[in-house]
Amino acid sequence: MKYQYLMTLIVALLVPTAASAKGECEDDVQKFCKDVAGEKGAVVACLQQHMAELSEACKTRLSQQPS
């Protein structure tokens, strides 16, 4: 029972973090890269082409992406 409670707590804490990370570039993707295929690498490449035009939050997120 304690194990199940602990797992539920961990999931509850992690889900909002993952969702907020995705949202940092969501508007920029829609604005600059909406026609790019859903492949992550292609979207990141598109965003990098528009780096000067991106929101500060998205620029920060992209700078944290592994190369």
**Does 65 score more than 80 pLDDT?**
no
H/E stretch holding 12: helix 2-23
The predicted pLDDT at position 17 comes to 37
Q: Where are the domains of the chain?
A: 24-67
| Residue 65 near residue 44 (C-beta atoms within 8 A) | yes
Q: How many residues does the chain have?
A: 67
| Residue 60 near residue 28 (C-beta atoms within 8 A) | no
Q: Which two tokens stand for residue 45?
A: 């490449």
User: pLDDT class for 67, splitting at 50, 70, 90?
Assistant: low
pLDDT digits (tens, 9 = 90+) for 44-60: 899 999 999 999 999 99
d(CA 33, CA 38): 10
pLDDT digits (tens, 9 = 90+) for 1-57: 565 655 555 545 444 433 334 578 999 999 999 888 767 788 889 999 999 999 999
